Chains A and B, each alone.
Chain A
Amino acid sequence: MRYIEPHGHMVSRTTDDYQAMALAGCAAICEPAFWAGFDRKTADGFYDYFCQLTQHEPKRAAKYGLPHYCWLCINPKESEDMKLADDVLALIPEFMKAKTVLGIGEIGLNKNTRNEMRILEKHVELAVKHDQLILVHTPHLEDKRKGTRLIMDVLKAAGKVKPERVIIDHVEEHTIGEVLDQGFWAGITLYPESKATPVRAVDMLENFASQRVWLNSACDWGHSDPLAVPKAMQEMRRRGHSAAAIDSLVYGNPVRFLSQSPNFKDPQALR
């Protein structure tokens, strides 16, 4: 069965993962900019990273027949250094010209600090100015509920942000309702230990049926699973959900959200 991986950090994955995803039915991969596991010291480091996301990674994915898209930003873990963050923000408009850029992301908060908030506001301004989609990372664990609420406040305060053009990712049982109630899209991230397991994700889907939810693996350099989305699909099948219901969730929903960017092409139409 086909699916879209709407959030995968493929720069941290091996070529074998691309092959496994393609074999499992993946039809396209979208890669938000994120933290490398250490703090980059210079804007040049980000320049190279954005080149990797917009030029190198699409070629690697194409070897397995996979369209590769990306999102650009400096992530909240690195936005305590405001000067660096400003320098990186200044680089982004040039890279937005690449044909595979979907928007600004994954932006958001990590420890819910004032500096993180300021850089989040600047990213939101940039997205509004350039009419870009927004992909939001919500904080981990005990910081998630507070951070999710602060982020939604920033998005609403910005005035011109259309909630249907924003996906708030890494929702869990205690945040998904608020996110959907305010009109945003919600992303459920499937991680082996933190965030949601495939089983819990399917419970959430059964409880919060929505046309505005997607599933992703957020596979990166940490404990994560590039095949988490197909595993959640298998869980849905085990529970008796129809093939059409599964397809509409793991393929139809991401295609509907992402197609709001003129750069995204429905993989179905490319075949």
Chain B
Amino acid sequence: MSDPNPLAGTPRRTRDQVADLHFMDARYKLLDLAAFLDRLEKASGPEDHRVRGLRAALPLLLSAGDDRVAQILHLWSDPSVAPIEKADTKAASGVWPGLK
């Protein structure tokens, strides 16, 4: 990973200032996520691999550090390195299906 290289001239901010700018945005997103999990609770059938991946990412939100987004994206990434022979779809699902 690259060395930290902060943008010159980025203003120093207090946590209050960051909260003033972005708290309401984060608040509604968290409530939407909670509502999504509630909705799943009421549905039937086995757990979808994408939802499994989402649940696996939740503990990372509470971990220390300032690279949670990268950690979650790494968690959801296909870990293989070789090209595949043929794809059965053009689309990606959002979470590597092999994630346990």
Contact = CB atoms under 8 A, between A and B. Distances in A.
A and B: bona fide binding partners: yes
Interface of A: 77, 80, 110-117, 139-146, 149-150, 172-174, 176-178, 180-181, 199-200, 203, 205-210, 238-242, 245
A172 B91 CA distance: 18
Given A113-B85, A174-B70, A242-B9, A145 B77 contact: yes
A146 B2 contact: no
Contacts of A200: 69
A200 B5 CA distance: 16
Nearest to B71: A174
Interface in B70-100: 70, 73-74, 76-81, 83-87, 89-96
Interface string B1-31: 1101111111101000000011001000000
Most chain-B Cβ atoms within 10 A of its Cβ — which of A140, A206, A207?
Answer: A207
Given A114-B83, A146-B81, A199-B22, A174 B90 contact: no
Contact of A177 (B2, B90, B95): B2
Interface of B: 1-2, 4-11, 13, 21-22, 25, 67, 69-70, 73-74, 76-81, 83-87, 89-96
B92 A139 contact: yes
A233 B63 CA distance: 30
Contact of B78 (A145, A209, A241): A145
Nearest to B87: A111
A210 B95 CA distance: 29
A116 B74 CA distance: 23
Nearest to A118: B83
A146 B11 contact: no
A193 to B, nearest CB: 10
Contacts, number: 111
A114 B84 contact: yes
Which label, helix, strand, loop or mixed, suits the secondary structure of the A interface? Answer: helix
A235 B5 CA distance: 20
A173 B10 contact: no
A97 B32 CA distance: 51
Q: Which of A112, A141, A180, A238 has the most CB of B within 10 A?
A: A141
Contacts of B74: 145, 174
Contacts of A176: 2
Contact of A112 (B10, B25, B73, B83): B83
Given A114-B84, A206-B6, A209-B6, 14 more contacts: A140-B92, A141-B76, A141-B94, A142-B94, A146-B79, A150-B81, A177-B1, A177-B2, A180-B2, A207-B5, A209-B7, A238-B21, A240-B11, A241-B11
A98 B11 CA distance: 44
Given A143-B92, A239-B11, A112 B76 contact: no
Nearest to A238: B21
Contacts of B84: 111-114
A203 B22 CA distance: 12
B87 A174 contact: no
Nearest to A213: B7
B90 A110 contact: yes
B9 A241 contact: yes
Given A199-B25, A206-B6, A241-B10, A142 B92 contact: yes
